[in-house]
Structure 1
Amino acid sequence: MTVQHEPVGTADPRLDHRGLWRERGFPAFWLGQGLSQLGAQFAAIAMPIVAVTVLDATDAQMGFLHAAETAAFLLVGLPAGAWLDRMRKRHVMIVADLVRVVAVALVPLLFLAGMLEIWHLFVIGAVVGVATVFFDVGYQSFVPVLVRDEHVGPANGALEATAQTMRLGGPAVAGILLRVVSAPLLLAANAVGFLLSAISLLLVRDDEQVKPKHERQHLVREIAEGLRFVARTDFLVRIVGTTALTNLGASIAMTLSPILILRILGLDPSVYGLLMTLGAIGGLAGSVLAMRIARRIGEGTALSLSTLLFCGSAALLPLSVLWPAAAVPMLVVFEVLLGFGILVYNVIQVTARQRICPKPLLGRMNASIRFVVWGVMPIGALLAGWLGTAFGTIAAIWVGTAVAILGGLPLLLSPYAWMRQLPTRPAEEPVAAP
């Protein structure tokens, strides 16, 4: 039996937000995730700079690094969802945060000892990736547990808005700090962010009830149940198709973008950080406006237009090389449009996913989707390394751009593309023509 959720567009958004901040545990959860995101922005700047400028990484090594960071979603993504549905999600997230604290802190320690090598980044990236799988699947599945159904949409919007705010300020601060400290030392702030996230989760109280052991099925059967739910829900199949293809293309392009920006265009690392900061303005606007846009023009229409926006803007990244004098403005526009489109898309589709899925299946549903849409990323990273080595960095980025643009088709050619309200349960899905 499917749990019925109130459609996101039916309640007054002002009432939603007032009620949200009175939800027990949400303010502490929100604060901890905001601090964690701030530290993560330092890592997003520091890791590729360490690889490219400190360790002189090649295209292939950048591919291996990004593959190591994302491989866990392909290797352990499915069982992670089933395990999470058997455990208290908050407890799992705390352990994942503490693992990430230890792993990330090793980078500055190894650097200070004069022992840091590129393979260390591969191993640390892989460990952090495994912990992130468990944290992220638990994170997406925990929001509907922590807040009432009518507050799920506003909660997702508030969390994404905060994340984008940190993405706005974090890279700028990182860029300034890079003028006085080396990139590896910035990763210490990332470790502190994960530690603060764990502390905030310790302060949260929730009423999650774990399924008793005698009611559980075999692990493989429970994994299959999550996969079947996704495969039989046409809306989720379309979302998975679009997200997976765009992630594959983006993984190819973004794996090599630090080489394009720092080495080919020759921009300073502080400018690299500033670009990410300016790009986060689009993401912040998207996270704040996503649900308002959905209410105004319809959820399906907003989802489709945001898809067109972030897919179309992808071409600006490789085009920036053709006009070096205009490269920085083009990269700023690229980051802003990309961030806005992705955040509108993510807030709407994640809310719809949470709304359409029964709560006992949330962990497995999210893990099944993450297995595919994040599982393609290490494949894309390895392809980036191979394509960059064989045909050159720019040609490889163009291939990734083309794949990302084509990725919008599964959603744009679906019956959900221009719907006023997306389904609240599988039975409401329109039947596609045979």
Structure 2
Amino acid sequence: MTETEPVSETADAGRPSLLRHRDFMLLWSGQTISEVGSMITPFALPFLAVTALNASNFQVGLLTALGSLAFLLVALPAGVVVDRVARHRLMMWCDVLRAVVVATVPVAWYLDTLTLAHLCAVALVTGSLTVFFDVAYQSYLPSLVDKEALIDANGKLGTTSSAAATLGPTMAGVLVAAIGGARALVADAVSFLMSAVSLFLIRTPEAKPSLPDGPRPPFRQQMGEGLGFVVRHPVLRRIVACTGTVNLFAHMASAMEMPFLIRELGLSSSQAGLLLALGPVGGVVGGLLAGRLARRVGSARIIWLAPLALGVPSYLAPLAYPDWRVVLYGVGWFAFTFGAVVYNTAQVTYRQQICPPDLLGRMNAAVRWIVWGTIPLGALLGGALATWFGLRTTIWIGLVGASLGGLWVYFSPLRGLRDVTPDAEPKASTAG
């Protein structure tokens, strides 16, 4: 077989811009507002627990864990539900319900009835609704934009997430300081409502969920179908192994970043915050360039190249010392998040293209269930390794291990391919 011809600049220029795609822009703008607003709740809930309810350290940790625990508890059932119902409508209801649940906190605070159990319930319920929304979100996108535009769409959405991670915590801190934790949550509730309105205005028709001939399979069997598809697919199972490995090792390193910055580098809290802001900026840049890099390098090839090659500059982070080299920590994490968003954009697009439409929800849920499950384990391992071997060594292990996670995909059928075509069939290329 001959190598696929590179996409020309004229072809790129002839492709309709997503910036002129009305319904995608509604989805993107609504999600941007919601993503930034959603940074308020993880900040405000622990703040209220400490300042208003005098919660212990363990109680604050439990409150924080409940939001992410939802991914392990409801991700697989959420996949079945997403494949059974209209995803567009489900996303709107998730936004509305999240707005209502979050709004109960300022109401209870105003009535002087706020309790720690109430905050824990809000964290768990909003986390569960977010799982349903996120699974539906990734599964809905292929019905909104053409397959040729999927990688650009995912890149723009990845940019939103990184921008929210950059701006959100700072905005949340300023807002909480200015008007208090309870009142700040009103802004998050409003952001969910604005996202719901943007979804309501979308007019692109969504195909109805396909119904099986005869009786519907049992719920548990349908959950297993998503996991089975992921495990049996020769490429997808390696992508999941790669993502899970990257999450495991990256969170080993990131869990120790604050002790490293303060104890090893001697930074103040404000200096540490400024340095940490460089990381998400790399994700913003990666999201903006992901589509262009995939067209230049190959939409299949970039999946293994991003973690292996783009992860190497992240090794600058543990080379930071308390002098001019302190900036190396921020530069290293800038490089890491740049490569992570490029990789994520490419692999999510691949998943959307190769999965049957009626299985998209269950496939995305199964992937999330696996790869997010390694995150708390990575944080625990990071703490243990730092105790045994020190902070700098732990960050070295985390970043090197994360970049080597790309080997899972390198030693897969993707290594001999350049592109994934719009009809979900990869184009093979000869080596060289």
Question: What TM-score do the two structures reach when normalised by structure 2?
Answer: 0.79
Structure 1 residues 223 and 304, CA, compared in 2 at 3 Å: closer, same or farther? same
Structure 1 residues 115 and 249, CA, compared in 2 at 3 Å: closer, same or farther? farther
Partner of 1:4: none
Shift of 1:356: 0.9
Structure 2 CA distance for aligned equivalents of residues 378 and 182 of structure 1: 30
Aligned pair 1:207/2:206, yes or no?
yes
Structure 2 CA distance for aligned equivalents of residues 393 and 105 of structure 1: 40
Picking from 30, 33, 36, the partner of 2:34 is 36
Partner of 1:129: 127
Partner of 2:282: 282
Structure 1 residues 417 and 339, CA, compared in 2 at 3 Å: closer, same or farther? same
Partner of 1:254: 254
What amino acid sits opposite 1:420 in the alignment? R
Structure 2 CA distance for aligned equivalents of residues 388 and 185 of structure 1: 38
Query: CA contact under 8 A between 2:236 and 2:351: conserved in structure 1?
Result: yes
Structure 2 residue matching 1:234: 3-state secondary structure? coil
Aligned pair 1:72/2:107, yes or no?
no
What amino acid sits opposite 1:30 in the alignment? W
Structure 2 CA distance for aligned equivalents of residues 422 and 86 of structure 1: 28
Structure 2 CA distance for aligned equivalents of residues 226 and 44 of structure 1: 30
Query: CA contact under 8 A between 2:299 and 2:418: conserved in structure 1?
Result: yes
Please show how residues 66-105 of structure 1 align to structure 2 within 5 Å.
Answer: 66-105=64-103
What amino acid sits opposite 1:195 in the alignment? L
Structure 1 CA distance for aligned equivalents of residues 324 and 189 of structure 2: 36
Picking from 342, 349, 354, the partner of 1:344 is 342
- Identify which range, 79-88 or 107-116, moves more after superposition: 107-116
Structure 2 residue matching 1:237: 3-state secondary structure? helix
Shift of 1:144: 0.7
Shift of 1:149: 2.5
Structure 2 residue matching 1:299: 3-state secondary structure? coil
Shift of 1:104: 3.6
Query: CA contact under 8 A between 2:304 and 2:407: conserved in structure 1?
Result: no
Structure 2 residue matching 1:125: 3-state secondary structure? helix
Query: CA contact under 8 A between 2:6 and 2:296: conserved in structure 1?
Result: no
Structure 1 residue matching 2:412: 3-state secondary structure? coil
Structure 1 CA distance for aligned equivalents of residues 286 and 393 of structure 2: 30
Query: CA contact under 8 A between 1:67 and 1:382: conserved in structure 2?
Result: no
Structure 1 residue matching 2:414: 3-state secondary structure? coil
Shift of 1:287: 0.9
- Identify which range, 83-92 or 117-126, moves more after superposition: 117-126
Shift of 1:348: 0.8
Q: Which has the higher contact order (CA 8 A, sep 6+)?
A: 1
Please show how residues 21-420 of structure 1 align to structure 2 within 5 Å.
Answer: 21=19, 23=21, 25-43=23-41, 64-105=62-103, 122-174=120-172, 177=175, 180=178, 186-205=184-203, 206-212=205-211, 216-255=216-255, 257-258=257-258, 271=271, 274-275=274-275, 277-308=277-308, 311-312=311-312, 320=320, 323-325=321-323, 329-381=327-379, 400-401=398-399, 403-417=401-415, 419-420=417-418
Query: CA contact under 8 A between 1:85 and 1:361: conserved in structure 2?
Result: yes
Structure 2, gaps ≥5 residues long:
none
For residues 377-396 of structure 1, give each alpha carbon's deviation from its aligned partner in whole angstroms, at most 9, with x where no partner exists.
24445556777789987777
Structure 1 CA distance for aligned equivalents of residues 60 and 382 of structure 2: 8
Query: CA contact under 8 A between 1:71 and 1:378: conserved in structure 2?
Result: no
Structure 2 CA distance for aligned equivalents of residues 226 and 324 of structure 1: 49
Structure 2 CA distance for aligned equivalents of residues 319 and 410 of structure 1: 27
Alignment size in residue pairs: 420
Shift of 1:96: 1.9
Shift of 1:263: 8.3
Structure 1 residues 210 and 348, CA, compared in 2 at 3 Å: closer, same or farther? same
For residues 165-206 of structure 1, give each alpha carbon's deviation from its aligned partner in whole angstroms, at most 9, with x where no partner exists.
444444554465566455665444333222211221122233
What amino acid sits opposite 2:375 in the alignment? M
Structure 1 residues 257 and 53, CA, compared in 2 at 3 Å: closer, same or farther? farther
For residues 373-418 of structure 1, give each alpha carbon's deviation from its aligned partner in whole angstroms, at most 9, with x where no partner exists.
1122244455567777899877776665565344333123334246
What amino acid sits opposite 1:410 in the alignment? W
Structure 2 CA distance for aligned equivalents of residues 418 and 63 of structure 1: 46
Structure 2 CA distance for aligned equivalents of residues 266 and 121 of structure 1: 35
Query: CA contact under 8 A between 1:171 and 1:276: conserved in structure 2?
Result: no
Query: CA contact under 8 A between 2:353 and 2:422: conserved in structure 1?
Result: yes
Query: CA contact under 8 A between 2:317 and 2:329: conserved in structure 1?
Result: yes
Structure 1 CA distance for aligned equivalents of residues 172 and 310 of structure 2: 26
Structure 2 residue matching 1:208: 3-state secondary structure? coil
Query: CA contact under 8 A between 1:234 and 1:429: conserved in structure 2?
Result: no
Query: CA contact under 8 A between 1:248 and 1:377: conserved in structure 2?
Result: yes
Shift of 1:49: 7.1
Structure 2 CA distance for aligned equivalents of residues 50 and 386 of structure 1: 30
Shift of 1:25: 2.6
| Aligned CA-pair RMSD | 4.1
Partner of 1:16: 15
Shift of 1:28: 1.7
Structure 1 residues 385 and 153, CA, compared in 2 at 3 Å: closer, same or farther? same
Structure 2 CA distance for aligned equivalents of residues 384 and 62 of structure 1: 20
Structure 1 residues 425 and 22, CA, compared in 2 at 3 Å: closer, same or farther? closer
Structure 2 residue matching 1:217: 3-state secondary structure? coil
Question: What TM-score do the two structures reach when normalised by structure 1?
Answer: 0.79
Query: CA contact under 8 A between 1:171 and 1:277: conserved in structure 2?
Result: no
Shift of 1:75: 1.8
Shift of 1:115: 8.1
Shift of 1:367: 1.1
Structure 2 CA distance for aligned equivalents of residues 266 and 119 of structure 1: 37
Structure 1 CA distance for aligned equivalents of residues 166 and 131 of structure 2: 24
